[in-house]
Structure 1
Amino acid sequence: MYQNILVINLMQIGDLMLTTPVLGALRKAYPQARLTLLADTRWRDLVECNPHLDACLFMDKKGADKGLANLWKFIRKVRAQKFDLVINLHRNERASAVAAFSGAKYIVGYSKPLFSLLFDQTLQNPSIAHHVGWGPGGIFPPHKYVPGWEHQVHAHLNVLRQTLGFEPEDGGLEMALSAENQQKADNLWQEHFAAEDKVIAFNIGASWETKRWLDGYFAQCADRLLAKGYKIAFFGGPMDLAIVERCISQMKHKDSKDLHIFTGKVSLAVLAGLLQKCCLFLTTDSGPMHIGVAMNLPVITMFGASPVPGFYPYDGRSVLLKSPEECHPCGIHKCPRAGEENLACMKNIPVAAAMHYVEDLLEKFKAKPAYELPAHKGDYQCRVIEISKGEF
């Protein structure tokens, strides 16, 4: 029986959120164990109040812990905690090194080659794309992009199943807020909205251009919803400010008092607190999408370059829209196609299609805020809608 467990995930916002079911499953299986999570310090808001954790370790990858010497200092801190089980859920060199040299009695999970020699058991991650071949071009064949074929949550839970020998309970995505951050969200909401307001959340930014639905399309959706009496809240980080400004500049109702801009103004924890008061989330494939799912908020999302099986919103009430482009999913950050074919995967998801499902979900859930919607444990497969040309 393991008494001191470390889970490692040093990836981005969405990836970290998709690790949270593992924490609940481990707590259920080892109720007396001390459970610690190692994550990127930038995302501490997401996990520091997780009810299944006893402690968190945070690595400042871009600051104090950057570089080989500082990485080794960090590893020494990990070794000092004398973990008897380490589970690595991030297959890169840094995370693999921390796990491999942790000094734990049993080390399992994903690993880069060489580091895997110090693991007791390693597995492939079937949610992550693989590049097969030598490329690019020339006398060698180009890389072949093979998208992931299993959701990341399922892949992570399978690590527990295969290496620890128990059937993990899947409690879905979770996020808890401190009383302070909950109060900040409550106060901000009261400053902007009345108790009877029905608010639709928008997140239009994403880490890749090919993950972004057209900002003009988002603008049309916002105009239509404002005309129906809904309030609109734009979210996103500081890097999304220019995109949001460009979107709003295309709106007919850009000066509406019912349009509220939170982009670049709130922490991830306060974002979560605000999302749980909204009644629907129109979003790209992004970290905030997964935060919305964790806060029980129905999502409508558009997938372009992203592989659907690996990263769909983990929520049976949500809807994912995709167009039947031959190149989907490509996993490319910038679309190589020219002219009208550039970003065709996003251009061919029309506003009418998105609004059809927006209206469907608003009617189905009576535009109630997320915190009033019932839990739906075990119902995690979203609806995937492939849009046919000319359908809308």
Structure 2
Amino acid sequence: MYHNILIINMMQIGDLMLTTPVLQALRRAYPTARLTLLADSRWQDLVECNPHLDACLFMDKKGTDKSLLAVLRFIRRVRAARYDLVINLHRNERSSAIAALSGAKKIIGYSKPLFASGFTQVMKNPSLARRAGKRRIPGTQHQVHSHMDVLRQGLGIEPYDGGLEMVLSEENVQLADKLWQEHFAPEDKVVAFNIGASWTTKRWLDSYFAQCADQLLEKGYKIAFFGGPMDLAIVEKCRGQMEQKDSPNLHVFTGQVSLAVLAGLLRRCSLLLTTDSGPMHIGVAMNVPVVTMFGASPVPGFYPYDGRSVLIKTPEPCHPCGIHECPKGHGDRPACMVNIPVAAVMHYVWALLEEFQGLPACQLPDHPGDYQCRVVELTKGDL
């Protein structure tokens, strides 16, 4: 039995959200243990209210904790906590080093080779794509399933999978509710747009998003644009291509809300139209049906973990390249995304809106265990 457990994932928004099922699984397996999560301080909103955690450690890896000396000081802090089990859920140098040097009695998970000798047991992550010559082979299973395999292989337990989870503080719930009431009426049916992504090759064309927004507005839906400050320029570019860019039913929250308030707003939306991005996974955690487009991203590893959602995969044979700039495209028009047409996307947008009657996510029933989204395999004949 373990009494003091540290879980490590200091990567991006989506990576952290895909760690949340592990927290619930560990709480069920070790109900009296002290569970601590180590995460990037930028994403504190995502996990600080998680009901399965006793504590969080946050590392400012882009700021005060960036230097080697600061990392060593942080490792000293981890060692002082005397964890008896450390689980590392991302295979990068910093996380691997902290886990390997934590001083814990048992250390399991993913590791870079340099630090593997410090682990009790190192597992492969079959969710990640790999290179085979010039080809990139996608992973074989979802990232959540790989994390659960870490628990099975390293701890000998059959973990419970409760899906992605995010709990908001009462303060953030109130902030989101107030903002919603300022912009929308109770009867409004709102479709959320997240058009930004960390790579250009993950972004569907802004002109395509503009056409979708116009079609939804014509049918009486309201539109809410989300995203961070880095997405302001592309949202404005998208809006500039809309026929109804000055519609009072178009609302832009881009760069204006925290991740927690974003989540609070998403739970009132009827659908999220999004790229492969952190907000996509937040939407899943908030029970919002998702329609997403995958170009460079590998489908098996990182699809929206929700059986009601739809993923539309590019027909380009180079999928999933995993590169950030498309050699076959033109600037911000990667070939894989050019070849996911608006008509195909809107077909599934309309289908989900009809299926769930445009109800807000907070009124939709939970669906435990139903996490395999529908993957639509486009062909060249669909273009």
Measured against the shorter chain, the TM-score band is over 0.9
Name the amino acid aligned to 2:24.
Answer: G
Shift of 1:390: 3.9
Q: TM-score, normalised by structure 2?
A: 0.98
Does the CA contact (< 8 Å) of 2:127 and 2:142 recur in 1?
Answer: yes
Does the CA contact (< 8 Å) of 1:316 and 1:380 recur in 2?
Answer: yes
Shift of 1:338: 4.6
Shift of 1:325: 1.1
Equivalent position SS for 1:218:
helix
What residue number does 2:173 align with?
A: 182
Equivalent position SS for 1:297:
coil
What residue number does 1:310 align with?
A: 301
Deviations 1:176-202 (A, max 9, x none): 000001110000000000001000000
What residue number does 1:84 align with?
A: 84
Query: Could you list the runs of 5+ residues in structure 2 that have no partner in the other structure?
Result: none
Instruction: Quote the Cα distance in structure 2 between the aligned partners of 1:184 and 1:314.
Output: 27
Instruction: Quote the Cα distance in structure 2 between the aligned partners of 1:341 and 1:14.
Output: 23
% identity of equivalent residues = 74
Does the CA contact (< 8 Å) of 1:130 and 1:147 recur in 2?
Answer: yes
Does the CA contact (< 8 Å) of 1:336 and 1:342 recur in 2?
Answer: no
What residue number does 1:34 align with?
A: 34
Instruction: Quote the Cα distance in structure 2 between the aligned partners of 1:341 and 1:222.
Output: 19
Does the CA contact (< 8 Å) of 1:127 and 1:310 recur in 2?
Answer: yes
Query: Could you list the runs of 5+ residues in structure 1 that have no partner in the other structure?
Result: 134-142
Instruction: Quote the Cα distance in structure 1 between the aligned partners of 2:69 and 2:104.
Output: 21
Q: TM-score, normalised by structure 1?
A: 0.96
Name the amino acid aligned to 2:31.
Answer: P
Mean Cα displacement is larger for which, 143-152 or 252-261? 143-152
Q: Does 1:211 align with 2:202?
A: yes
What residue number does 2:358 align with?
A: 367
Q: How many residues align?
A: 383
Shift of 1:342: 5.7
In structure 2, relative to structure 1, the CA distance for the partners of 1:179 and 1:272 (3 Å cut) is: same
Instruction: Quote the Cα distance in structure 2 between the aligned partners of 1:340 and 1:59.
Output: 35
Shift of 1:253: 0.2
2:347 counterpart (356, 379, 392): 356
What residue number does 2:22 align with?
A: 22
Instruction: Quote the Cα distance in structure 1 between the aligned partners of 2:54 and 2:83.
Output: 13
Equivalent position SS for 1:114:
helix
Shift of 1:347: 1.1
Q: Does 1:271 align with 2:239?
A: no
Shift of 1:145: 2.3
Where in structure 2 are the equivalents of 1:272-291 lying within 5 Å?
A: 272-291=263-282
Does the CA contact (< 8 Å) of 2:270 and 2:361 recur in 1?
Answer: yes
Instruction: Quote the Cα distance in structure 1 between the aligned partners of 2:121 and 2:132.
Output: 24
Instruction: Quote the Cα distance in structure 2 between the aligned partners of 1:362 and 1:150.
Output: 29
Does the CA contact (< 8 Å) of 2:293 and 2:340 recur in 1?
Answer: yes
What residue number does 2:218 align with?
A: 227
What residue number does 2:115 align with?
A: 115
Instruction: Quote the Cα distance in structure 2 between the aligned partners of 1:263 and 1:323.
Output: 27
